[in-house]
């Protein structure tokens, strides 16, 4: 990977920022029909949002604890059997063109994945995290756990029945739907825990990005 950044600070002085060497593992494959490629952002108001995979209380070494100044001791574990089952189902869903979008849940957890999908399309969403599969119990665990092998997907309403038939045997939770307006809402146990707008998320994201230039 590129581990060195050369640029300028806020006063225009040249700077170089270096990080330790890191391992980059890339996967390459052949896509028979590139028209079936899925992008991560939400597509249409009314599309139903699902989370594939289990969410456990695995925040160790993640972004949430980093912001709070902690490390944590419960790091994400990888279950190859479950992950293979999830990704095999995902491959079939993509092949049959059942999904509108798909995004892997990585740094920052589900909350960040939802924000990315909304900002990418400038569409809001109304979701609930009360019925996630897995061992996460507390709201902050469900929002920011970095459990591996999870995929955030959206499904057109006319394909929901097909989706739910094809996904049998895989851990899945129905979260809510994409909304037409600007509201971004996440509900816990009968209580709104995140209530903001896509515009605010957009400004926060680009404000941070611009500050790093």
- Number of structural domains found in the chain: 1
What percent of the chain is modeled with pLDDT above 90? 77
Picking from 27-31, 125-129, 139-143, which range would have the lowest pLDDT averaged per residue? 27-31
Asked if the structure places residue 10 within a domain, the reply is: no
Residue 181: which domain range?
A: 40-211
What percent of the chain is modeled with pLDDT above 70? 98
Strand partners, 48: 155, 177
Nearest partner of 153 among 93, 112, 101, 83, judged by Cα? 101
Q: What is the pLDDT of residues 94-136, one digit of tens each?
A: 999 999 999 999 999 999 999 999 999 999 999 999 999 999 9
Asked if the structure places residue 15 within a domain, the reply is: no
CA dist., res. 99 & res. 159, Å (int): 8
We report the CATH number of the domain holding residue 67 as 3.90.650.10
Asked if the structure places residue 13 within a domain, the reply is: no
Asked if the structure places residue 146 within a domain, the reply is: yes
Average pLDDT rounded to a whole number, residues 156-161: 98
Q: What is the DSSP string of the chain?
A: ---EEEEE-TTS-EEEEE-------------S-GGG---SS--STTPEEEEES---S--TTSHHHHHHT---S------HHHHHHHHHHHHHHHHTT--SEEEE--TTHHHHHHHHHHHHHT-EEEEE-TT-SSS--SHHHHHH---SS-EEEEE-GGGHHHHHHHTTTS-EEEEEEEESSSEEEEE-SSSEEEEEEHHHHHHHHHHHHHHT-
CA dist., res. 92 & res. 211, Å (int): 41
């Amino acid at each position: 990977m590129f581990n060195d950044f050369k640029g300028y600070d806020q006063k225009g002085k040249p700077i170089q920022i270096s990080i330790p060497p890191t391992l980059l593992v890339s996967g390459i494959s052949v896509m028979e029909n590139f028209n079936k490629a899925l992008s991560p952002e939400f597509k249409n108001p009314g599309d139903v949002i699902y989370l594939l995979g289990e969410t456990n209380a695995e925040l160790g070494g993640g972004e949430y604890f980093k912001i709070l100044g902690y490390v944590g001791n419960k790091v994400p574990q990888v279950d190859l059997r479950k992950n293979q089952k999830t990704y095999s189902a995902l491959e079939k869903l993509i092949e049959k063109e059942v999904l509108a979008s798909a995004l892997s849940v990585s740094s920052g957890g589900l909350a960040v994945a939802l924000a990315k999908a909304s900002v990418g399309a400038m569409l809001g969403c109304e979701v609930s995290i009360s019925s996630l599969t897995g061992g996460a119990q507390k709201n902050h665990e469900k929002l920011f756990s970095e459990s591996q092998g999870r995929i955030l997907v959206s499904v057109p309403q006319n394909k929901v029945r097909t989706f739910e038939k094809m996904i049998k045997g895989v851990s899945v939770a129905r979260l809510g739907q994409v909304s037409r307006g600007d509201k971004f809402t996440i509900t816990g146990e009968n209580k709104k825990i995140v209530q903001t707008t896509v515009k605010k998320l957009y400004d926060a994201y680009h404000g941070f990005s611009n500050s790093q230039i």
